[in-house]
Structure 1
């Protein structure tokens, strides 16, 4: 059975948690001083600073790689990456309408950087490594005026462009061993470069800022110093700091009205320094490398984005960092919702587990295990613990309020724990491993006991679902099988096989059916008592289905997969009732809250999306 998703109502998106902190200069403050603009996957988010309300700009087909905001605030420009051999889009957005003003395609594979001219007349774009060209666009006519190779053949790659603050015909480009001032000749439709002379000083420039009067160019370099170049003469004026360079490079620069510099380094140090001698005036240490600095207004307040997908607000006077936004910087592996409540949910990823409040997109708790990946997690029914499976083969049990490590099961699985579930009586844990084994653990007051090892799967266990009476469970595996296990006798009761790598299995609340999903793009209904297939739904036209979850009343279920679509299905009719279009990466997990009012989905780009569930719960 198939179900066409054309003309189907869309899910209402309530909140997006996520920020791609790896995009250089990806965090911007709109000139209205009320909105932050930043990328997440192929989506651009416009967030109100005061009330947190979000607008979403959808139009890119792949991850956003750069952002520029015009001085007037009328336009936003965004570029993306694309696959080798394909053109990468540039989109100019009308900010007021939150709509596409123009879409342009000339650069191959990636758009590296963008910058608007001071009067919003032109946009200059820089192609990536596979393109290497600079193009000037007319914003009003939406046409390309001219283009040129970004750097000379004797120079390296170009990484950034920055328009003059006073002249629509002048901009600067910089990169590995190259620093050029360009002048636009509109009559002859040409751009002409002038090489800046830095003498014996050879640097790879990562970011560029131009002083407000266009007298000097400041260049943050990979070696951790800052070059100050006279823009008119094209000559090096100064370079510093001499003694204490910025570790892992000067990644981000901003010039204040006072003339002083804000510098963000690759090791997370955020510094206010003098533009004349580069002496440090103030500093604060942040988590991981700084990639973006955005000024609000005259520069009394600034926002800083880091590689850890975190956004800080820092005041000029006290120079104290306030963490205002957190999110995962790697793929979210799993999401879990506590039994009997709809106020909290937990997610896991590389290095950590995070607990979130449903109604406020704010991190409540973070549990960090450095250099490890949490593959699966679950809440015990009594709400007293979070159980989690990790790629180092350990099961870790944490307190949900304190985040304290309460217990650890070492060597739970040889090749890593890939799936986990707790029983209703909170006395046992069922775990699945990458090697295909299913293990039953009994929790004792201060220790644990391995009760049984069940071997029948030939590949990684991907999901475990325990029956409400704790006497049976069902497990799915990448080998295409789902096995029903007797948790009293510890034997397999029956097996169902499909021509797929099974990703998720889920009991219907009445426990007479299970539903499965996998790489064959299908959702299967199976009879529990006989193990027979009942129905098969064509759930996606492209890509695997990675997750399914059923409402408490069993009337609806939700699915998500590599096609980046969240779909709500009528269980009996087998048809899609609503579709959610907002994810930029493959969907890794979906969960419906206990009260069937909120749906949470996660994806491989680190995003967590909260949707309004369209069907009210049964009375």
Structure 2
């Protein structure tokens, strides 16, 4: 609440930010460009309730207004006309308006549309090519046709066979046919898609069109046979963790609510999806031999999967009462260490055994890393401590204390130092031997640093967090060498591939970004 919600305009060719516009609070609900790209209209969420028109050339707001009358509901969508830079439409719960922009007086004036006794919640709008009428998809599963000039309801249908879970996307073709997507995944003239349809986009003169869904899938359709082709997949909620197999950079895995996904590094292609309904995977790791994926879940279970087939190989029930929040596999591929308390497990072919349980942490364990000799590990916690553990005697060897909620910890490759990051926005180097701080860097100007990873040669490390920036650091110099700007949400985790060629970062909005690492190994 009350935090600014930015509108970002991107330069598509340069892949860079053209303008960052800040007026809305909490959320931006919808956007629409004017037909000649002179203006942009933005709609704030229910807590903001305003419509703002922006001049794209000057990158400034022209004017704004409450989206609805005081007695009305809240606005959900906005759409510009196809031929007039000064006319756009807004709609939602209890409101449907045609707006006229008066640039010289810096005002927008609404015309309230009259739908009579028909009361509907409008989720999407499509404007006719000649701007004569508006089509409004409703949560009731029907479509209203409203005359643009007068704001009067013309007709509403279909009467008998309404769309299940409401109409969520509309696109009017030049032929006069209407594409309709519904909340149930039904798509007129097409087969059912995974979850609800959220958007439809036409390509070129109409040979193809694209459909987006609530499950973060993008489908391509041909007008000739209306058969769908799945061309892109993604997470539709926060990505919790990313893992890369030892000794290869061809694959990586991510986890989120309900699923684990394995991806090809060089292509944006999903190779495997492992789904556990109604559960959230908090942490994942590959065992060094590449024969299994270990994962920690919020139901307190550790699940081990085959990385090729996705078959469940082993389940450790009640591993941690409050959920498994971190996990790491030993180099010998026989033991794993899990967080939620720190526990060490021995894995056999079809069984498991708890070897040790260490309980010194007082809060959530956010990260665990194991030394190469498998004799020690380090755990980071929100209680402000990082503890180095003896994995043979199951006792603490050293404790690092700071005024922060630690988010991530990692060993320097030579293993005489550890690096930490957290809510204090600092990256700190620590001595493993006595737990004393060596160096402290200002890692971020705003927000928590959530992710940190170091290259195999120890020369560089990367960070990312609530400032949405991927930063590459020189370890010895303690300076930022490169900054990556692409994420729209807080960065949750990041990993550098084994050959330091590719960097993978994930964020709270479900995004997965692949970057060319700027200091690639000479080999």
The C-alpha deviation readout for 1:478-535, integer Å capped at 9, x for no partner, is: 2222222222222223323223222222222222222222222222222223333333
From the superposition, tell whether residues 514 and 194 of structure 1 become closer, same or farther in structure 2 (CA, over 3 Å): closer
CA contact (8 A) 1:566 1:581 kept: yes
Which residue of 451, 454, 459 maps to 1:547?
A: 451
SS in 2 for 1:284: coil
**1:389 equivalent in alignment to 2:296:** yes
- Name whichever of 121-130 and 564-573 sits farther off: 121-130
Distance 2:464 2:55 in 1: 40
Q: Structure 1: which 5+ residue stretches go unaligned?
A: 1-82, 272-281
| Match of residue 15 from structure 1 | none
CA contact (8 A) 1:228 1:237 kept: yes
C-alpha displacement at 1:565, in angstroms?
A: 2.5
Which residue of 488, 492, 517 maps to 1:613?
A: 517
| Match of residue 271 from structure 2 | 364
**1:509 equivalent in alignment to 2:440:** no
The C-alpha deviation readout for 1:429-458, integer Å capped at 9, x for no partner, is: 11111xxx2111111121111222222222
Distance 2:52 2:451 in 1: 43
CA contact (8 A) 1:256 1:298 kept: no
**1:243 equivalent in alignment to 2:160:** yes
**1:227 equivalent in alignment to 2:131:** no
| Match of residue 453 from structure 1 | 357
Distance 1:270 1:616 in 2: 46
TM-score, with length taken from structure 2: 0.90
C-alpha displacement at 1:169, in angstroms?
A: 5.3
CA contact (8 A) 1:352 1:367 kept: yes
C-alpha displacement at 1:251, in angstroms?
A: 1.3
Which residue of 252, 256, 260 maps to 2:177?
A: 260
TM-score, with length taken from structure 1: 0.77
- Name whichever of 148-157 and 576-585 sits farther off: 148-157
CA contact (8 A) 1:211 1:259 kept: no
C-alpha displacement at 1:616, in angstroms?
A: 3.5
CA contact (8 A) 2:190 2:228 kept: no
From the superposition, tell whether residues 190 and 321 of structure 1 become closer, same or farther in structure 2 (CA, over 3 Å): same
C-alpha displacement at 1:337, in angstroms?
A: 0.7
SS in 2 for 1:283: coil
Distance 1:399 1:227 in 2: 50
**1:161 equivalent in alignment to 2:78:** yes
CA contact (8 A) 1:378 1:387 kept: yes
| Match of residue 58 from structure 1 | none
Distance 2:286 2:30 in 1: 44
| Match of residue 201 from structure 1 | 118
| Match of residue 462 from structure 1 | 366
CA contact (8 A) 1:268 1:287 kept: yes
| Match of residue 255 from structure 2 | 348
1:30-41 paired onto structure 2 within 5 Å = none
Which residue of 482, 505, 526 maps to 2:386?
A: 482
CA contact (8 A) 1:553 1:618 kept: no
The C-alpha deviation readout for 1:374-420, integer Å capped at 9, x for no partner, is: 11111000000000000100000111111111111111111100111
From the superposition, tell whether residues 298 and 495 of structure 1 become closer, same or farther in structure 2 (CA, over 3 Å): same
| Match of residue 287 from structure 1 | 194
C-alpha displacement at 1:145, in angstroms?
A: 6.8
CA contact (8 A) 1:508 1:514 kept: yes
Q: Structure 2: which 5+ residue stretches go unaligned?
A: none
SS in 1 for 2:308: coil
Distance 1:245 1:608 in 2: 37
Distance 1:550 1:327 in 2: 26
- Name whichever of 443-452 and 578-587 sits farther off: 578-587
C-alpha displacement at 1:166, in angstroms?
A: 4.4
| Match of residue 507 from structure 2 | 603
**1:321 equivalent in alignment to 2:228:** yes
**1:568 equivalent in alignment to 2:485:** no
From the superposition, tell whether residues 594 and 165 of structure 1 become closer, same or farther in structure 2 (CA, over 3 Å): closer
C-alpha displacement at 1:477, in angstroms?
A: 1.8
Distance 1:94 1:143 in 2: 17
| Match of residue 215 from structure 2 | 308
Distance 1:560 1:94 in 2: 23
1:120-131 paired onto structure 2 within 5 Å = 120=37, 124-129=41-46
Superposition RMSD in Å:
3.0
- Name whichever of 92-101 and 518-527 sits farther off: 92-101
Distance 1:313 1:446 in 2: 43
Aligned length: 523
CA contact (8 A) 1:592 1:599 kept: yes
| Match of residue 336 from structure 2 | 429
Distance 1:184 1:462 in 2: 51
| Match of residue 346 from structure 2 | 442
